[in-house]
Structure 1
Amino acid sequence: MTIYEIIAKKRDGGELTPAEIRFFIDGYVKGTVADYQAAAWCMAVFCRGMTAGETAALTEAMVASGETLDLQGIAGTTVDKHSTGGVGDTTTLIVAPLVAAMGIPVAKLSGRGLGHTGGTLDKLESIAGFDVQMDQARFVAQVQAIGLAVAGQTAQLVPADRLLYALRDVTATVESVPLIAASIMSKKLAAGCQAIMLDVKVGHGAFMKSQAEAEELARAMVAIGEKLGRRTMALLTKMDQPLGNAVGNALEVEEAVAILENRTLYGRGRVSPDLREVSLALAARMAWLAGKAETVAQGRMMAEEALRSGAALAKWAALVESQGGTWLGGERLAESLPQAQENCRIGAPVDGWIGAIDGLAIGRAAASLGAGRVKKGDPVDSAVGIVLHKRIGDPVGAGECVVELWHNGRGVTEAQALVKGAYQWATGPVAKPPLILGEIR
């Protein structure tokens, strides 16, 4: 076979065989397939799509392009969780220790933030000394010791995805469901966990803007996981307004820890009930996927008990200590995290209710303060960010503080404009929007 024949076959709507897909992926990683040929292949897939079998074969070939983590020595069913990205989404920091506290080993490889979305590694690195770079032996040993590890993906895992994504990013082929699904699931499968929980975000602040798009992606990813031998489930969650009230690395850590400490208030404001609810919903399903709970409802009760008893908080402390972080809980929490030097409060212009919040605009505002990246490798300011004091459906009085910007002097004017434009005001009561839109098993 030749790469020309493979491109032409997909261009004409044909179904590629697993051998043809492996030939393409192997050649691209080794350099025998040129960028212009890979770009043509990506565009053919973008225009013609892929069958479920093709998508699974692509995922498997991408996994085989590099190393995989061997978690077989870990007792119990290992679980992983992935979010498709959003604003104020700090669920990993809550869910990982919460699930580990239920006796389920969590082996989590995470990424960094780009654009308006935050990255788990950036949030963890706002904690002084926290080390996210772990080799395989140390990663596995920590999961065996405390039931939990959260680290960065190594360059040896799924090199095909790194190469393909960089190419798709500059050839207008990112928005292809088979390519997105294979990109996400190849990394999850290479990470070695036996069960995978997917949180697929829907709305203005998410990559997938409509529920139909999100369902298509979720079904594709669940099908890949099941076909390749992993118990997989997807939860569709709303991402119009930020999930948490804190947007920014250290600020999000503060809010997440407040939830683990069973508090409704923390140093900057109040905890988002939506963040707590999605975290519990994900943890409940992870317990079911791992076989620890017979039903999701039972998993929910177990998760609530692990939170209430303090077991989840103890796992968090063990995680930070094991990965070199300096942690002072309770009233001394702020001493463990960097602090912005200045703050700016934005008040409501009228009496009324919060009608809508554009999560994308809030994420961009936080990035303009320095909390995010425009391109990979850009530095971030861990201390800065945004705290929401009001959410959709909340009543407000004219002049009442709605949002607070925590900053170090960078991008304040731009952030203010973005935040003010993100809010819509209503003259009458507004219903709280639905949070969980469905699940795919």
Structure 2
Amino acid sequence: MNRHPDPDGPHGPSGMEWSPGRHSALLTGDYLFSQLIPYIGNKRKLLGLIAQAIAATGEAPPRTDFIDLFAGTGVVSRLAKRLGFRVLCNDWEPYSEQINRCHIVQSRAPVFHGGRSYEQVMAELNALPPLEGWITRHLCPDDDVHYDTARDRMFYMRKNGMRIDAIRAQIARWEHDGLLDAEQKACLLAPLLYSASYNSNTSGLFKGFHHGWGGRTGTALYRIAADLALRPAAFIDNGHENRVLRMDAHALADTLAGEVGEAAIAYIDPPYNQHPYGANYHVLNTIALWDSPPLAPKITGRDKAAICQDWRTERRSPYNHRRQALAAYRHLLSVLDTRWIATSYSTDGFIALRDMLQANCERGAVQVFTRPYKRYRVSRQRYSTRPMTLEFVVLTNTRRPPQRTADELWHEITTLETSLNDAS
């Protein structure tokens, strides 16, 4: 078992370590962290650990494919792109596709119709007059000062809802008129999706919103009340044609044979618990798809959160169900025909640690990389007998027989977690 090293040591380059002071998603120019949306399970704090696991493969990036099957924000795909791998980035959520098409596929700022620069088009969108559209009518109050919390949805201040509507409608018009290709569109949508997260009257999830602006304590009013504005995305060129897909991870795994090199690294970061991403980030999907889902403009009962239910039929994940998660994971391992399989998970997840280790030991030689993590608490006052959990990466070489048993690995990890909690 490998513990997370010193970030300034040889296996933990400080350039891959997230720092809240240096890497504000709003302001940083660092490609890895720029405009990362707030996200449950975001791996920005664990990139050093993931980089350590990748380095342990010994594979040379220019000749190796990196497949990110549950990409989410795409931060691990960004890491792989920066390291020089040819990246195949996948997630079945529409907002994720647009964000990653911008940051993973695109290598430089696009040029638009008429030779306009990226910055010029951003300025055009920011200068549009406000527009009362679907977002304003359904997700904003009628008045930002005199609102009715019993009837008004308050995901955004009205002024920012009208900014989102104006910008998204203009992007749709350009697309309809044939003035945007898929990558140009994504390079405009990704900053809009980030701004729609940053300026929202939420704590990051869209399953609800604060009671009043920022809640009773006025939390984060500096961003909620700020004027929404687009900022250009950050790009890097790693010399490869990187790809982004939007499909079920299991369906993708079935198609990989012959598509990637023999030494490929498949990275798996499945959901840990019962909360579906399609519900958590439904507003971002609405902006990405611009599909105006049917919804009463005001709260009428159980529609306060305005969650579109399409994820139930189109993107229901077995990993959100305790009784289905292990079988789904075992199936995914069985169909992935890559030399390396790396899985990020937590000792808090639905799949028991021993079961995950056993499934990987059945595929090959296993190494485990661990890092302690403070358990998420809804309330600071809520006491936990286990304040620390372990985030870990299981790295499996499917071309070598197992060197250690799952029980041996499990005992080491659980002993470490127990000692961490005893010391807390």
Shared topology, TM-score over 0.5? no
Structure having the larger proportion of residues in helix: 1
Structure having the larger proportion of residues in strand: 1
TM range, smaller chain: under 0.3
TM-score of the two chains, using structure 1 as the length reference = 0.26
